[in-house]
Amino acid sequence: MPAGRAFDPRAAVAPRAAGPRLPRRALHGVLLLDKPIGWSSNDALQKVKGLLRAEKGGHTGTLDPLATGLLPLCFGAATKFSQASLDADKTYRATLKLGITRAGGDLEGEVLATRPVAFDEARLRAACAALTGAIEQLPPMHSALKHEGRALYDYARAGVDVERAPRQVTVHRLDILHRQHDELEIEVVVSKGTYIRTLAEDLGEQLGCGAHLIALRRTACGPVGLGDAISIEALTALEPAAREARLLPPDVLLGAWPALHLAAGEAGRFLSGLRRRVAERDCEAVRVYGPEPRAFLGSAHVKAGELIPGRLLSPPEVQALIGSAATNESKQASTP
């Protein structure tokens, strides 16, 4: 997108055809979307929600309009587990423009300073090492972080600077993928709450030349990755049944957690919110299933031999998800 040009989501969404609006449906699952550039996370959610005719949906954390890539969208019962995706580590590929510092840390901001790009590989390695591990970041003004009920980017657009406190985040990995003279492509794995535009600016300062972000793509969010995502264009081109078949079960968001299976009687008691005695070690987070392999029941944690319920599905939601999985498996088996 050209610098300084505002995005109008109305221009990116095809106009609705004339005629009666189709009724919304109770759908349960996770759609992994490859969000296009220029769309806000909510623009993408509303478009997909309309395509699926879903009653209830939400996204799992804001991905900036200038960023592309993985945006997990939760529908129905899956919204109960969106926090797991919000809390998960994220993987990004970012391209930095070296030698130029811009307001807001990306290519839309005005140029604040220009400096020569002159550093060697040793300094680059040292700069990456300095920004790996637990670090402190000052949240950027161009962010969705709230101050007195308003997003910081609202203040930034009005020319008001708000005092912010540094926050500790973790950069698990920072790798250099490609370097030209004034561009640097990196891949990072970071904890929740990490601002990549701020990381780009900090890396530029470590290198002594300044930098800003010119491209950002999210490739993974916890246990789910971009390889299983679909674009809005591809989703739009599918038939309604094929769109619905793209929904993954809610437990895909908890794929990195240990699984625990309960017998039928114990599963029913667990779903009612009762604690159960289990021969398991303490664990902060587990995903719980009934005797049917697809019968995901919800989340819990184990403490002192007790399974303590967290977010639970309702019995109708469990049955709906079992039925949906069986239908999709049947369709796949019948496809030549």
Tokens of 134: 């637990």
Identify the three-state secondary structure at position 199.
Answer: helix
The letter for the amino acid at 303 is K
Q: Confirm if 327 and 32 have CB atoms less than 8 A apart.
A: no
How many residues are recorded in the chain?
A: 336
Are residues 94 and 201 in contact, defined by beta-carbon separation less than 8 angstroms?
no
- Cβ atoms of 32 and 228 within 8 Å: the answer is yes
Which residue in the block uniquely carries the two structure tokens 């912010």?
164
Residue 165 in contact with residue 201, Cβ under 8 Å? no
- The Cα 129–Cα 176 span in angstroms is 11
Residues 105, 68: Cα–Cα separation, whole Å: 17
Distance CA 4, CA 14 (A): 24
- Residue 18 DSSP symbol: S
The DSSP 8-state label assigned to residue 244 in this structure reads: H
Give whole-number Cα distances, 119 to 115, 127, 208, 301, in Å.
12, 10, 8, 49
Are the beta carbons of 202 and 210 closer than 8 angstroms?
Answer: no
Residues labelled catalytic:
64
What is the rounded CA–CA span in Å between residue 44 and residue 21? 19
What are the angstrom distances between the C-alpha of 80 and each of 86, 95, 265? 12, 34, 24
Q: What token pair was written down for 112?
A: 């604040």
